[in-house]
């Protein structure tokens, strides 16, 4: 080994330190054979920091010292993917996997004149957050979330903090461009460590490793993300130029050589029988891993056959995910209680003998409503089977009636609110879905001043979909309420570092972070504030419409129910609820205090969209109606794209409609558009308009 350059030659020494740190990152994260201790690594890192501080001209963008950037001001920018990041089709069934092999792959290849028998590369399905990494001439330049598959959010600054992701590829001859696709995940051991630390500081714990990984990738402060210990695996290439791969295995081998970790425990199978054997082998072994996996991914090994097989509008035909059946665990119902929500509806909840389910301890599960308790006949003392829906949310699958003892008790719903003592009502509400419409019974507390409702209102106010106050979780809010520091959302803006630091197990740094997040929330758009106020029947969509129409909170507060009803999409009942909310003395005082605290009361989005409409373009002044199921966009994403370009959306088709964007299974709106002669476009035509 060549002798390291002397510190008397700063330029050579800095280059050597950068290369040495990158080499040790590769040894640790990719090859899993570290050569030095963490202390020795930290010593090299500190030397480089000091050297670059003394000689700033030696600092490079790919230096390990530049991994952690400054806090992001504003939101994450949306960026088009080079090629859509499609989601995989799932199956839980061996017969469906054989059908995929015979019908989707082999017969389609035969029709295309391909005589070569496909092999399959099979790998663990890492349960994390899907991302895309872009490298230009070997340097990491951009990282995106999957987003809606067509566009992702630029989270480059946060991805740079992940030491498993090299800032420069380990090669002297890098391709002109290459995109690595994979999963960011959190190891189970790290998840346990972080949750323990958060619990000790009085912060809300994360529900599971996947949520923790995805949530932290969307934090605005890379310094916080750097402390989480996120990891990364690449599992397939995206777009690439200046390099060729014949097989999936060749790609993974090359990615490892360049310094990227790849999905472990993979194999190539010559036929579907071997695939199934490998799947069975890992059904139990996967539980021994330090990361979550909920299945196996099966991909055609030969990359040129991917092009032949192509994709549907939703998924590639050359790959499929086999999902293992969710773990069902037996436990006992110890108690059933009911918890009041922000709208006054009480949700029944079961408490169990604690059990491990899919890697975490489960003690509680929602029973949703009175009708659900009656339908499943869940009783206190029953033995039940529970699982995690989607590997995340605990739920009761079924009651083990054959094990029911003599001492079980039917749950008697409370007659008074457990939070305020107000008499409860049993109401019927209609639940609608694509499959059915059903009436369910719910418990309701009609006391608008109920402390329990206000607790939930504060939690909702601080949530990501509203004012997005990071680190202000339920446990901290409960402490604030218990100490008399917070009674309603406006009280949050009176908190100081000193007040928070006096709370039990609250470190001063954590207190400082919370105060900074609360201060930052003052800049949120008016639509977010309106959603956060918990106005009856006003969700995120209605809040956005109101903010754009009235543009300021002051104008909305002064508007009559009749004026509010003139807003497109707002009916008479909703309009009356809004007017009554702002006329209510208690709510009026709450809003006054929020305004006095300095919260933004203007629609920033309205100003931006008016400017886009004035600038002209394919969308300016045009009205779109969306119908059917869109495959590349969510309905919300498509509407946002239209509005951000100066267009409008409407819920029904009329002669004033300019375009109907029709997805799969479009119904009456499509028929009416054709009858009226309104232009009907599909997603391909919509994407062309977006590029104009």
CA distance 532 to 524: 11
Adjacency order of strands within the sheet including 90-91? 90-91, 319-323, 293-300, 120-126, 267-269
Q: Which helix (H) or strand (E) holds 258?
A: helix 248-258
Structure tokens at 628: 């059917």
Give, as one character, the DSSP assignment of residue 380: B
In 597-676, alpha helices (H): 604-615, 635-644, 668-676
Q: For the chain, how big is the Rg over CA atoms in Å?
A: 28
| Closest C-alpha among 67, 42, 41, 50 to residue 14 | 50
Query: What SS3 class is residue 265?
Result: coil
> Which residues on adjacent β-strands are paired with residue 178?
135, 240
CA distance 477 to 485: 9
Name residue, tokens 């399905």. 125
CA distance 585 to 162: 50
Adjacency order of strands within the sheet including 129-136? 139-145, 129-136, 177-185, 231-241
Report in angstroms the alpha-carbon separations of 642 from 242, 465, 470, 620, 691. Answer: 36, 21, 30, 9, 12
Per the annotation, the verdict on 125 as an active-site residue is: yes
CA distance 263 to 181: 11
Distance of CA 126 to the CA centre of its chain: 16
Contact 34, 28 (CB under 8 A): yes
Structure tokens at 539: 């969700």
Contact 184, 159 (CB under 8 A): yes
Contacts of 339 (CB under 8 A, 6+ apart): 346, 347, 349, 418, 452
Instruction: Read off φ and ψ for residue 370, nearest 5 degrees.
Output: -60, -40
Instruction: Read off φ and ψ for residue 133, nearest 5 degrees.
Output: -115, 130
Contact 381, 405 (CB under 8 A): yes
3-class SS string, 331-375: EEEEEEEEEECCCCEEEEEEEEEEEEECCEEEEEEECCCHHHHHH
CA distance 462 to 441: 29
In 81-143, alpha helices (H): 94-99, 108-111
CA dihedral 353→354→357→362, nearest 10 degrees, is 110
11-42 burial, b for 16+ CB within 10 Å, e for fewer?
eebbebbbebbbebbbebbbeeeeeeeeeebe
- Please tell me which residue in 3, 73, 111, 125 is annotated as part of the active site: 125
| Closest C-alpha among 80, 130, 106 to residue 321 | 130
CA distance 627 to 660: 7
CA distance 52 to 48: 6
In 508-603, alpha helices (H): 508-520, 526-532, 540-550, 553-558, 561-565, 572-583, 585-596
Name residue, tokens 């993979």. 266
Report in angstroms the alpha-carbon separations of 36 from 162, 167, 464. Answer: 19, 21, 41
Which residues are the active-site residues? Answer: 125
């Amino acid at each position: 080994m060549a002798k390291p350059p002397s510190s008397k030659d700063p330029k050579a020494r800095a280059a050597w330190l950068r290369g040495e740190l990158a080499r040790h990152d590769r040894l640790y994260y990719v090859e899993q054979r570290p050569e030095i201790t963490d202390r020795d690594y930290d010593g090299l890192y500190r030397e480089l920091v000091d050297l670059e501080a003394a000689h700033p001209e030696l600092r490079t963008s790919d230096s390990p010292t530049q991994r952690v950037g400054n806090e992001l001001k504003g939101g994450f920018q949306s960026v088009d993917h080079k090629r859509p990041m499609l989601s995989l089709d799932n199956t839980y069934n061996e017969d469906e996997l054989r059908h995929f092999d015979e019908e989707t792959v082999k017969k389609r290849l035969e029709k295309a004149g391909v005589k070569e028998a496909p092999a399959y590369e099979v790998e663990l399905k890492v349960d994390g957050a899907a991302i895309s990494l872009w490298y230009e001439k070997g340097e990491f330049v951009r990282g995106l979330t999957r987003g809606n598959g067509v566009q992702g959010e630029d989270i480059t600054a946060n991805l740079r903090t992940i030491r498993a992701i090299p800032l420069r590829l380990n090669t002297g001859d890098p391709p002109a461009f290459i995109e690595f696709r994979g999963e960011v995940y959190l190891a189970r051991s790290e998840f346990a460590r972080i949750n323990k630390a958060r619990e000790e500081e009085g912060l809300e714990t994360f529900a599971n490793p996947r949520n923790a990984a995805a949530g932290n990738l969307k934090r605005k402060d890379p310094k916080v993300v750097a402390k989480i210990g996120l990891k990364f695996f690449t599992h397939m290439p995206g777009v690439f130029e200046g390099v060729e791969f014949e097989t999936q295995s060749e790609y993974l081998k090359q990615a490892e050589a360049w310094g990227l970790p790849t999905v472990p425990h993979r194999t190539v199978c010559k036929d579907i029988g071997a695939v199934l054997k490998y799947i069975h082998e890992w059904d139990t072994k996967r539980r021994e891993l330090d990361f979550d996996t909920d299945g196996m991914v099966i991909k055609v090994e030969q990359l040129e056959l991917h092009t032949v097989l192509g994709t549907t509008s939703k998924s590639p035909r050359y790959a499929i995910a086999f999902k293992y059946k969710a773990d069902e665990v037996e436990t006992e119902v110890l108690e059933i209680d009911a918890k009041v929500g922000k709208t006054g509806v009480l949700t029944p909840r079961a408490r169990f003998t604690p059990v491990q389910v899919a890697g975490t301890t489960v003690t509680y599960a929602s029973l949703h409503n009175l009708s659900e308790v009656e339908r499943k006949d869940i009783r206190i003392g029953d033995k039940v089977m529970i699982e995690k829906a989607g590997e995340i949310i605990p739920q009761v699958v079924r009651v083990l009636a054959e094990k029911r003892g003599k001492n079980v008790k039917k749950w008697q719903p409370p007659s008074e609110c457990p939070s305020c003592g107000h008499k409860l009502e049993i109401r019927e509400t209609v639940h609608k879905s694509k499959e059915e419409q059903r009436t369910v019974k719910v418990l309701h507390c009609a006391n608008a001043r109920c402390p329990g409702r206000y607790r939930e209102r504060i939690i909702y106010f601080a949530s990501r979909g509203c004012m997005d106050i990071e680190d202000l979780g339920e446990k901290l809010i409960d402490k604030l309420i218990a100490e008399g520091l917070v009674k309603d959302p406006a009280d949050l803006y009176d908190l100081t570092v000193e007040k928070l630091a006096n709370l039990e197990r609250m470190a001063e740094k954590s207190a400082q972070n919370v105060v900074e997040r609360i201060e930052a929330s003052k800049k949120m758009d008016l639509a977010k504030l309106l959603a956060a106020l918990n106005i009856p029947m006003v969700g995120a969509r209605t809040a956005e419409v109101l903010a754009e129409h009235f543009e300021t909170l002051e104008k909305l507060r002064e508007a009559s129910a009749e004026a509010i009803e003139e807003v497109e999409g707002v009916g008479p009942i909703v309009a009356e609820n809004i007017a009554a909310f702002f006329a209510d003395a208690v709510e009026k005082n709450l809003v006054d205090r929020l305004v006095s605290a300095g919260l933004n009361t203007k629609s920033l989005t309205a100003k931006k969209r008016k400017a886009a409409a004035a600038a002209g373009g394919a969308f300016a002044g045009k009205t779109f109606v969306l119908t059917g199921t869109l495959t590349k966009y969510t309905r919300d994403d498509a509407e946002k794209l239209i509005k951000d370009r100066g267009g409008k959306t409407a819920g029904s088709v009329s002669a004033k409609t300019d375009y109907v964007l029709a997805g799969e299974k479009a119904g009456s709106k499509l028929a009416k558009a054709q009858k009226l002669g309104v232009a009907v476009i599909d997603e391909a035509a919509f994407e062309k308009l977006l590029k104009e």
